[in-house]
Every structure is written in C-alpha cells, then in structure tokens.
Amino acid sequence: MAQYGSSDGWRGDAACLGTDLVLWSEPGAPSAEAARLCRDCPVRRECVTEDLPARWPAGVRAGLAEDVREPLHAAYVPWRAAIDRRHTALLRQAARTNDRAARGLIRDLAAALVAEADALTGYLVAFVVHADDATYETARLVYLTELAGRLAAEAAAATEATTPAIERTRPALFAAAHQVADLAAPSTPPVPSSLAGAA
Ligand code: SF4
C-alpha cells in the first residue's frame, strides 16, 4: 500500500499520515474513512489555514473533495494573482524611491498586503470547511488584525495597497466561499458580518 503524507513539521501529527494514498488522491467525495480522519485530525487547523490555501492540491484535503473546492479555487486564483501583481508593483515603487524612510514604508505596505491576503485566505477556508469554533475565531481575529495592519501601513506610506483588480475579484471569492460552504454542508449558517464586511 502506498502511504500518504510527510512527517515534516505539523504534518507529522496529521491523522492522514501513513494512511492509504488512495484515500486522499482519488477524485470524488471523501470516503467515510477520510471524512472521519479529517474530522478528528489534531492538525486540521494547520491543514485548513496553511496547507489547503497554499497548495490547492488534488484529491481530498481537510475533508473537502477537489470538485467541491473547485469554485473557491477558481475565484482564488485571479484574486491572488491581483494581490501578487500589486505586491510586485509596490516593491518596484520602493526600489525607485530615493528616500530611505519612504522606501521602508512602501516595503512594509507590500508585506502587509500579503499578510492580509494570507489571513483572509485562512479565514475563508475556516468558514468553508466549518472549522471548529476556536479555529474559526482564531482565523477571524488574525484576519482582522492583518486588515488593520494593512490599513495602518497604507496611512503610513500614503499609498493605497488595493487596486481595482483586487476589488473586482474579491466579491467572487466571497461568493465562492458561500457556494463551497453550502456544498460541504447544506445547512451553512449566514455569513458572519465580519466576513461580509470584508468585501
Ligand atoms: S485535516 Fe488535513 S492533515 Fe488532517 S487528516 Fe485531513 S487532510 Fe490530513
């Protein structure tokens, strides 16, 4: 039997480590065994907030089948690309800035934009997989903290981090999060106001 997983870092504690690769690499809904392992996994939070958004891998992750995750993936890619383009533009702007202090502020803003994007991704994923209350609340607070950090960095640098492309792609991301949450559990509660307000 080909075994699944890696023992690096938190993955060493994953419930899927050493299980049959087939459980995690086949298309379609998670098997009862995969769903049970994900539900009880001690590192589901890490899987949800780090691995899933970072890799969008094939097969089952965090209890979600690939096709269930697909709408979120399709919306995530253009949004994240817009973030990455803006990040690159800010770094170029910093490189052209002669004033050292101003250059640092623009670089700080570029970093804050990415930190906010990472935090929002974790928040959305916690929502769509119906993470436990503690995980969800942690993801929400991290996002709100990073949002405040990005706004403060904008004020300090006197430069806006967001662009029309980012604003245009973000509503689709939230819509996809709702769609996926509904697919994962049809009795999805209403979106939290803090998430809706993030649009
Ligand atoms: S939640 Fe993630 S790390 Fe845990 S068993 Fe499921 S796929 Fe593996």
Q: pLDDT tens for residues 131-141? A: 788 888 998 99
Atom number, ligand 1, closest to the C-alpha of residue 42: 4
Q: Which residues line ligand 1 (CB under 6 A)?
A: 14-16, 37-38, 41, 43-44, 47, 61-62
pLDDT confidence of residue 189 = 55
Q: Which ligand 1 atom sits nearest the alpha carbon of residue 60?
A: 7
| Whole-number Å distance between alpha carbons of 65 and 10 | 22
Instruction: Give the CA dihedral 64, 70, 73, 78, nearest 10 degrees.
Output: -170
What is the reported pLDDT for 198? 46
**Residues 6+ positions from 4 with CB-CB distance below 8 Å:** 16, 17, 18, 19, 20, 21, 23, 24, 25
Q: Rounded to whole angstroms, how far apart are CA atoms 161 and 140?
A: 21
> The pTM is what?
0.77
> Which of 63, 196, 190 minimizes the C-alpha distance to 123?
196
